Each structure stands twice: as structure tokens, then as C-alpha cells.
Amino acid sequence: MKEKNKQHELRLLPRYFNKIGIGIFLIIGLIVVLTVVDIFKINPDILLTITKSGILVGLLILAMTKIKTEDELTLRIRLKSLGFAFIFGVGYTIVEPFINLVFQNSFITKRSVSELLITMLLVYFVIFHSMLKKR
């Protein structure tokens, strides 16, 4: 019976991946600072792509890493937060063109998919940690 329950368990990364995710943020920050100070010469478009991708990978690793006390309640909070972040992302995608139309007289949005995913992951972290504190 225990083996059947393990099939429905969410497989998360071990805790040491927290350090890897933070390390990715530090490396991306270092690259940006070195480029701004003119030690590195990188095309701004390439730097923007590297920065967005690095932030996205770092946030994803942090989101999929176990916390210190991982139990059924934590799993439920994690899934509720992911659901809320997904609904937020869909709502944001639907509402944003209309907001742009009202305030900028343009229905076309300039947000990229990576920016939407970063926003959704940030919403996930805010909801997840606020629900953990209330527990």
C-alpha cells in the first residue's frame, strides 16, 4: 500500500539545489554588473536573453526544491500556490492588452513569454511563503 502512495507523491529536488539556484542568480548578477562596468563587452540583446533565461532557470530550481519541513500540508500549499500563479498568469495575459489599450492607445503587448513565466514564478513564491507563514 505504501508503494501505491509513493506514485502520487510530488518528486522535488533535494535541498542542496537551493544553493545551486542562488548560485545561478549570483552568476547572472555578476555578468550584468561586469557588463555595466564595461569589463565585459556583450551585445545588450544577448545580455537580456541571458539574464531572462538565468532568472527563469534559477526561479524554477528554487520552486522545485524541497523546503526544510516537507509534509502533506506543505505539498498542498505548494499546489495551491502553483494553481493561483497559473490563474494569475492567464488572467494577466487576458487583461494586459486591454490595460495597454486604455493607457497607451495600443492593443499590442510587448511582454515576452519569459517575462510572463518569471512573473508567475514570483507570484508563486509570494503566495507560497505567505501561506507557509500562516500555517
List C-alpha distances in Å: 68 to 8, 22, 121: 21, 16, 20
Cβ atoms within 10 Å, residue 23: 13
- Model pLDDT for residues 2-28, shown as the tens digit of each residue: 555 565 667 888 999 999 999 999 999
Q: How far apart are CA 95 and CA 92, in angstroms?
A: 5
| Maximum alpha-carbon separation in the chain | 61
Per-residue model confidence (pLDDT) at position 2: 54
pLDDT band at 51 (very low <50, low <70, confident <90, very high): very high
Residue pair 10/75 in contact (Cβ under 8 Å)? The answer is yes
Q: What angle do CA 108, 121, 37 make, to 5 degrees?
A: 80
Q: What is the pTM of this model?
A: 0.84
Per-residue model confidence (pLDDT) at position 7: 58
Position 47, amino acid: L
How confident is the prediction for the chain on average, in pLDDT?
A: 89
